[in-house]
Amino acid sequence: MTDDLDRMLERLRAQPVPDRLNRLEADVMFGIAGARSMPTASPAWRTAAVGLALAAGLGVGGTAAAIGSRSPQPGQGLVDGRHLAPSSLLGRGE
């Protein structure tokens, strides 16, 4: 099995490198250079976007803090389970 693999690798090494693989590095570098030359957003737009994100975060965070600061009242869960208490099921409240 190892001999077969070694022979296959030797045959692969003897073949010429495909042209597409020879151009791969140049194509990647060309793509990177093209991406770097693209214009970015102006500083005014960046500042506005950061300000909007900050205002939205403060608004949502402040609202969540205001809602979360209220102390929960007993029995305000999703389901009122007082009727399932063992004392009411076993003794029927007696």
Task: For residues 69-75, give the mean pLDDT.
Answer: 61
pTM of the model: 0.33
3-state secondary structure of 79: coil
Q: Which two tokens stand for residue 9?
A: 């690798």
Q: What percent of the chain has pLDDT over 90?
A: 24
The ranges assigned to domains in the chain are 1-41
- 11-25 pLDDT, tens digit per residue, is 999 998 888 888 999
Would the pLDDT of 75 be above 60?
A: no
**Best CA proximity match to 53, nearest among 64, 45, 65, 42:** 45
Q: Which two tokens stand for residue 39?
A: 């214009």
Q: What's the N-to-C CA distance of the chain in angstroms? A: 83
